[in-house]
């Protein structure tokens, strides 16, 4: 199965700044990568699929990019509601697998 490694584990960012989250795959694949946001006590929320396609209702400050084994989630101008846990997930191979998560915290 494809192993996803997210870095950093914790990212400290000031409101209004940009956050860049990394997701590295153990083997190369096409664009079948998704990103999720999770807040305490809630289930994850789909942000992005197909590497860069925002889900319905997701603000434009969230963007995804990458290919091969390196993928990135960028959050521009961080808002208070963006401080949360973020997971990447590949669905190119079976079974679908997730990274360990990156926590974005207030600096």
Partner 1 sequence: EVQLVESGGGLVQPGGSLRLSCATSGFTLSSKSMNWVRLAPGKGLEWVAYISRDSSTTFYADSVKGRFTISRDNAKNSLHLQMNSLRDEDTAVYYCAREGIAVSTFDSWGQGTLVTVS
Binding mask 70-99 for partner 1 (x = CB under 8 A): -----------------x-x-x--xxxxxx
Q: Are 23 and 71 in contact (CB under 8 A)?
A: yes
- Whole-number Å distance between alpha carbons of 85 and 43: 11
Identify which of residues 16 and 95 has a Cβ nearer to partner 1 in the complex. 95
Q: How far is CA 1 from CA 26, 33, 35, 55, 76, in A?
A: 9, 14, 18, 26, 32
How many residues bind to partner 1 according to rule CB under 8 A? 23
Q: Are 98 and 4 in contact (CB under 8 A)?
A: yes
Give the binding range for partner 1 (CB under 8 A) out of 10-18, 19-27, 35-43, 63-71: 35-43
User: Under the rule (CB under 8 A), what is the footprint of partner 1?
Assistant: 32, 34, 36, 41-46, 49-50, 55, 87, 89, 91, 94-101
């Amino acid at each position: 199965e494809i192993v996803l490694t997210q870095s950093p584990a914790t990212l400290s960012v000031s409101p209004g700044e940009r956050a860049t989250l990394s997701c590295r795959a153990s083997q190369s694949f096409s664009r079948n990568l998704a990103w999720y946001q999770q807040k305490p006590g809630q289930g994850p929320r789909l942000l992005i699929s197909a590497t860069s396609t925002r889900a319905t209702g997701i603000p434009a400050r969230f963007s995804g990019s990458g290919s091969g084994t390196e993928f990135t989630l960028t959050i521009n101008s961080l808002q208070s509601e963006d401080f949360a846990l973020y997971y990447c997930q590949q669905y190119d191979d079976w079974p679908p697998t997730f990274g360990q998560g990156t926590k974005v915290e207030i600096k």
